[in-house]
């Protein structure tokens, strides 16, 4: 079943408009409905969650050994202000990463899971059905879908055992109420922005994360990285003013309107302009810095962004030198957040997050346009280690040199996930190394990964978020090429394979010493948990219509994991029947060979196996021409990822030539 990210994205981009006015919303719904019908006609069940009807609901379900009737259950909890406020907290702690703060299905992971998380604002969403139906779906999740809605690709967790029935009812009441409110935004505009109105808008929309008094300590804060901004200190990250200075009103307006990409802060463009201006007035009362600024008669020193000069190769060369000297200590020489000083500045527990991986400009908070990068360089990012490049030291021309160079560190646009992972057939032996130039001639396939937030121990804000995969076969063996960015290498690999780490910025010649650096006296030790990656394939490939549950299979539909680990360094074949039911196959069944290296914040791995093996019962047998589902799991050991703590992908389709 091919998934259709382009269509889904078209659907998503439609939602934002739907908040603006009823008329546009109606059109959008018509458009979305058309899109959905279109989707359904091509690919059945892509909105597995939404396309169910109430007739699919069983008469009763079993929870904790107790049978609950779904026919005439009285809601055990009735709606009240307290219930709605409890429900909001439960929602923000458990649901927001997928379904989003605005209930529009556009949480952080919305692009990483297929089908996309449900958008509760759509008229055909689950909310058009009874609350009992929703209760069943929340309790049983994607894995509890009726058989005809396989392939169980839905990432919706089963919440029984995690949330109590009472909590589930509270969150359901909240979702129904909030989505009703959000999809009927009447432009009840105040005529003049006021602090009082700002306080009201704040408490209705912002306090759940930013806290009642703006200290960044609302219920959502516990599950946010980066933390929600603490307004009492008066600092925000993206400003037009220099590092450490208070933002202008326009900076605050832009922050509210644009949201913050890659965080749980959505765009609040659907609030009326006067509501947003009211919010600014209110926010400025939360920190005394703004009043002090006025009292002292200060003015904002807004950073001016001139028009960029023409791009030249000479500028690029200068940019490279400037980058290595001034940026590589944190961002690494290839820009993959692996600088020599990086580990020192990162401390997720205190909100000191990783420096941006410059090879993924689609994740730049401010945006990846040249003027936006210029502004980030000139202003710095308050509350982070990112300094500003002050005009006292760097001329505008030098900043443009840097911008030019930074743009060469990444692909010109975000890679698209292909519909089919094509495995080319070649004659003769397969390459033994990822360095082999033949890989340059092979299609590369980009897959997004998301934190495992479905079962058991979870990962909420992983640093690893995609993998690039290539493959070829020669009729006998298949070779996979994989690379993924991880800013820290398992040190033990330095003993056994190629490891290249970003050096500290070079010293001027007269300050360099010839003496070798003192060798670390301690012996290289492996990380507590290894860095690992696994390719997942169904153990049995039938006609491709019945896929195992995407999260490591299920008892009736096992999967194979080809898992490479940094320590002990090898690749092993495993059989899994669920996320906590993964077993290494016995020695005589192991057929994988692998070769890994680490270069400047990126792991490279080659894995090979014969297409077919003698273990026909337990091993995936790969045959050309078949559509083979493939998925990926990655563990970042240095971040404590092990077992169910990992990043995961949905199923994708692979075909061997």
Partner 1 sequence: MHLVSYLLLAVILSPELAISGSLSGTAIFSGKIEQLKPYKTGKYKKACGTDIPNESMLINNKRVGNVVISLHGKKLKKRGGKYKLDQKKCRYEPHVIAVPLDSELKIHTSDPINHNIHTYSFENDPINIMFLPGQDAYSQEMDEAEIIKVECDLHDWMRAWIVVTPNAYSTVSGADGSFEIPDVPPGKYELTAWHETLGSLTKNITVGNDGLNVNFDFLEVPQQEAKR
Which one, of 161, 167, 168, lies nearest residue 134 by Cα?
168
Using CB under 8 A as the binding rule, whether residue 393 contacts partner 1 is answered as yes
- State how far the Cα of 644 lies from the Cα of 157, in Å rounded to an integer: 14
HSE on the CB side for 520, CA within 13 Å? 6
The answer to whether 382 contacts partner 1 (rule: CB under 8 A) is yes
Phi, psi of 446, rounded to the nearest 5 degrees: -105, 125
Q: How far is the CB of 306 from partner 1 (least distance, A)?
A: 21
- Among 186, 299, 512, 545, indicate the residue that binds partner 1 (CB under 8 A): 512
Question: How far apart, in whole angstroms, are the C-alpha atoms of residue 115 and residue 11?
Answer: 12
Contact 397, 309 (CB under 8 A): yes
Quote the distance between the C-alpha of residue 404 and its chain's center. Answer: 27
Q: Pick from 308, 505, 544, 610: which binds partner 1 (CB under 8 A)?
A: 505
Quote the least distance from Cβ 331 to partner 1, whole Å.
12
Pick one of 210, 245, 557, 567: the residue that binds partner 1 (CB under 8 A). 245
Residue bearing tokens 């690039």: 468
CB 385 within 8 Å of CB 342: no
User: Judged by CB under 8 A, does residue 388 bind partner 1?
Assistant: yes
Q: Is residue 562 a contact partner of residue 592, using CB atoms and an 8 Å limit?
A: yes
Contact 637, 533 (CB under 8 A): no
Question: In angstroms, what is the minimal distance from the CB of 281 to partner 1?
Answer: 22
Distance, in Å, from the CA atom of 393 to the CA atom of 325, rounded to the nearest integer, reads 14
Of 637, 324, 340, which Cα lies nearest the Cα of 508?
324
518 binds partner 1 (CB under 8 A): yes
Q: Which residue number, 318 or 645, has a Cβ lying nearer to partner 1?
A: 318
Residue 505: partners with Cβ closer than 8 Å, 6 or more residues away: 324, 325, 326, 328, 329
344 lies in the site for partner 1, by CB under 8 A? yes
Binding segment for partner 1 among 216-224, 263-271, 383-391, 404-412 (CB under 8 A)? 383-391
231 binds partner 1 (CB under 8 A): no
3-class SS of residue 502: coil
Q: Name the segment binding partner 1 (CB under 8 A); options: 163-171, 172-180, 194-202, 381-389.
A: 381-389
Stretch that binds partner 1, among 254-262, 310-318, 457-465, 505-513 (CB under 8 A): 505-513
Q: Give min distance, CB of 217 to partner 1, in A.
A: 15
- CB closer to partner 1, 26 vs 348: 348
- Contact call for residue 248 and partner 1 (CB under 8 A): no
Looking only at the bridges linking them, the beta strands covering 532-538 and 477-485 are unpaired
Q: Which residues pair with 583 in a beta bridge?
A: 575
Nearer Cβ to partner 1, position 352 or 442? Answer: 352
Residue in 4, 224, 326, 633 binding partner 1, rule: CB under 8 A:
326
**207, HSE (Cβ side, Cα atoms, 13 Å):** 12
> Is residue 69 packed enough to be buried (19+ CB in 10 Å), middle (13-18) or exposed (0-12)?
exposed
Q: Does 383 bind partner 1 (CB under 8 A)?
A: yes
Work out whether 391 is an interface residue with partner 1 (CB under 8 A).
Answer: no
Instruction: State yes or no: residue 520 binds partner 1 (CB under 8 A).
Output: no
Q: Does 517 bind partner 1 (CB under 8 A)?
A: yes
Near partner 1 in 254-283, by CB under 8 A: none
* DSSP notation for 194-244: -HHHHHHHHHHHTHHHH-TTSSS-SGGGGG-SSPPP-GGGT--SS-SS-TT
Tell me the window of 141-149, 186-194, 237-245, 630-638 that interacts with partner 1 (CB under 8 A).
237-245
Q: Nearest distance from residue 139's CB to partner 1, in Å?
A: 44
- 244 is an interface residue for partner 1 by CB under 8 A: yes
Encode 471-491 in three state secondary structure.
EEECCCEEEEEEEEECCCCCC
Binding residue for partner 1, selected from 43, 124, 341, 590, defined by CB under 8 A: 341
In the complex, the smallest distance separating the C-beta of residue 345 from partner 1, rounded to whole angstroms, is 6
Q: Using CB under 8 A, which of 8, 329, 346, 622 touches partner 1?
A: 329
Contact 632/649 with Cβ under 8 angstroms? yes
- Which CB, 68 or 385, lies closer to partner 1? 385
Confirm or reject binding of residue 233 to partner 1 (CB under 8 A): yes
Applying CB under 8 A, among 392, 413, 437, 523 the residue interacting with partner 1 is 392
Contact segment (CB under 8 A) with partner 1 among 61-69, 384-392, 408-416, 604-612 equals 384-392
Smallest gap, in angstroms, from Cβ of residue 511 to partner 1? 4
Between 330 and 634, name the residue whose CB sits nearer to partner 1. 330
For residues 224 and 92, give the distance between their C-alpha atoms in angstroms, rounded to a whole number: 10
Residue 504 interacts with partner 1 (CB under 8 A): yes or no:
yes
Choice between 344 and 425, CB closer to partner 1: 344
Q: Which is nearer to partner 1, 237 or 609 (CB)?
A: 237
Q: Of all helices (H) and strands (E), which one includes residue 583?
A: strand 582-584
Rounded CA gap, 114 and 449, in Å? 11
Q: Out of 203, 325, 456, 614, which residue is the one contacting partner 1 (CB under 8 A)?
A: 325
Q: What are the DSSP calls for 277-298, one per residue?
A: HHHHHHHHHHSHHHHHHHHTT-
Binding site for partner 1 (CB under 8 A): 233, 235, 243-245, 292, 325-326, 329-330, 341, 344-345, 380, 382-390, 392-393, 504-505, 507-508, 510-513, 515, 517-518
């Amino acid at each position: 079943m091919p998934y259709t990210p382009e269509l889904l994205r078209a659907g998503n981009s439609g939602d934002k408009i739907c908040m603006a006015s009823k008329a546009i919303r109606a059109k959008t719904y018509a458009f979305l409905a058309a899109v959905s019908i279109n989707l359904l006609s091509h690919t059945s069940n892509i909105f597995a969650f939404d396309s169910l009807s109430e007739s699919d609901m069983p008469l009763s379900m079993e929870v904790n050994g107790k049978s609950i009737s779904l026919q005439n259950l009285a809601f055990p909890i009735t709606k009240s202000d307290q219930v709605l406020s409890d429900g909001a907290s439960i929602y923000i702690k458990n649901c927001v990463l997928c379904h989003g703060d605005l209930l529009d299905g556009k949480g952080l992971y919305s692009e990483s899971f297929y089908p996309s998380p449900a958008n509760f604002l759509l008229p055909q969403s689950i909310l058009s059905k009874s609350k009992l139906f929703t209760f069943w779906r929340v309790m049983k999740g994607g894995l509890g879908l009726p058989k005809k809605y396989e392939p169980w690709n839905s990432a919706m967790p089963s919440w029984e055992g995690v949330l109590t029935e009472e909590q589930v009812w509270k969150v359901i009441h909240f979702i129904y109420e909030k989505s009703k409110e959000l999809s009927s935004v009447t432009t009840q505009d105040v005529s003049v922005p006021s602090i009082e109105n700002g306080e009201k808008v704040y408490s209705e929309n912002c306090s759940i994360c930013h806290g009642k008094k703006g200290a960044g300590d609302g219920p959502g804060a516990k599950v946010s990285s980066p933390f929600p901004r603490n307004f009492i200190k008066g600092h925000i990250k993206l400003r037009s003013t220099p590092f450490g200075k208070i933002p202008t009103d326009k900076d605050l307006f832009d922050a509210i309107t644009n949201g913050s990409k890659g965080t749980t802060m959505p765009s609040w463009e659907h609030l009326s302009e006067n509501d947003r201006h009211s919010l600014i007035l209110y926010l400025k009362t939360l920190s005394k810095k703004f009043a002090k600024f006025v009292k002292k008669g200060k003015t904002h020193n807004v950073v001016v962004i001139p028009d960029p000069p023409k791009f030249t190769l000479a500028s690029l060369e200068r940019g490279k030198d400037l980058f290595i000297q001034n940026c590589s200590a944190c961002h690494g020489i290839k820009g993959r957040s692996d600088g020599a000083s990086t580990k020192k500045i990162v401390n997720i527990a205190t909100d000191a997050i990783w420096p941006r991986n410059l090879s993924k400009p689609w994740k730049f908070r401010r945006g990846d346009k040249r003027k936006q990068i210029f502004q980030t360089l000139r202003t710095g990012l308050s509350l982070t280690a990112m300094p500003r490049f002050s005009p006292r030291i760097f001329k505008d021309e030098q900043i443009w040199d840097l911008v030019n160079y930074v743009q060469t560190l990444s692909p010109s646009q975000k890679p698209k996930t292909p519909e089919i992972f094509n495995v080319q057939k070649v004659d003769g032996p397969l390459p033994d190394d990822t360095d082999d130039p033949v890989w340059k001639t092979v299609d590369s396939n980009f897959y997004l990964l998301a934190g495992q937030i479905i079962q058991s121990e979870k990962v909420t804000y992983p640093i690893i978020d995609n993998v690039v995969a290539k493959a070829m076969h020669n009729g006998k063996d298949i070779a996979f090429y994989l690379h993924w960015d991880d800013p820290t290498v398992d040190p033990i690999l330095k003993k056994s394979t190629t490891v290249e780490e970003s050096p500290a910025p070079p010293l001027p010649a007269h300050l360099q010493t010839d003496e070798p650096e003192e060798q670390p006296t301690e012996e290289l030790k492996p990380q507590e948990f290894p860095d690992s990656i696994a390719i997942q394939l169904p153990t049995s490939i039938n006609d491709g219509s019945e896929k195992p549950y995407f999260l490591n299979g299920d008892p009736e539909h096992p999967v194979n994991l080809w898992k490479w680990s940094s320590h002990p360094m090898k690749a092993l074949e495993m059989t899994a029947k669920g996320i906590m039911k993964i077993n290494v196959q016995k020695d005589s069944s192991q057929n994988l060979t692998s070769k890994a290296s680490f270069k400047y914040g990126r792991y490279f791995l080659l894995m090979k196996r014969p297409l077919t093996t003698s273990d026909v019962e337990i091993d995936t047998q790969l045959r050309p021409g078949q559509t083979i589902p493939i998925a990926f799991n990655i563990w970042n050991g240095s971040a404590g990822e092990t077992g169910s703590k990992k990043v995961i992908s949905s199923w994708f389709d692979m075909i061997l030539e």
